[in-house]
Amino acid sequence: MSALERTELLTDRALRLLQEDAAKIEKLIEVQMANLTTRQCPLYEEVLDTQMYGFSREVDFAIRIGLVSDKDGKDILSRLERNLAVLYEALDQKGQSQ
């Protein structure tokens, strides 16, 4: 295996792992939304903040060591942030309708 092939393999693996971790965070938030009546719950906020911070550090590390491009890393984070915003909006609308 050439150095280029090895680098491409590591890059693909890093991107796949980051996408899997982002999906886990999205699933966690969806489960919490289904079980909590308000996003103002301190536990909800703490879990969300911790997960998002940890994930952003994970992405930053992958970018810094060159396994993921800056663009790809930001795209993954942006997608997760957009999905979380949609979840927040749905929860806000649920709270207003009650």
The pLDDT of 15-38, averaged and rounded, is 82
Retrieve residue 88's tokens: 């927040």
What is residue 97's predicted lDDT score, i.e. its pLDDT? 67
Query: Quick one: how far is CA 63 from the chain centroid?
Result: 15
Q: Look up residue 71 and give its amino acid.
A: K
Name, in order, each residue with C-beta under 8 angstroms of 72's C-beta and a sequence gap of 6 or more.
15
Kindly state the DSSP code that residue 66 receives in the 8-state scheme: T
| Least confident piece of the model among 20-29, 45-54, 68-77 | 45-54
Checking if the pLDDT of 25 tops 70, the result is yes
Tell me the three state secondary structure of residue 16: helix
pTM of the model: 0.77
How many residues make up the chain in this entry? 98
What is residue 46's predicted lDDT score, i.e. its pLDDT? 78
What is residue 95's predicted lDDT score, i.e. its pLDDT? 65
Q: Residue 72: which H helix or E strand, with range?
A: helix 70-97
User: What is the tens place of the pLDDT at every residue in 29-64?
Assistant: 777 767 655 555 667 767 787 899 999 999 999 999
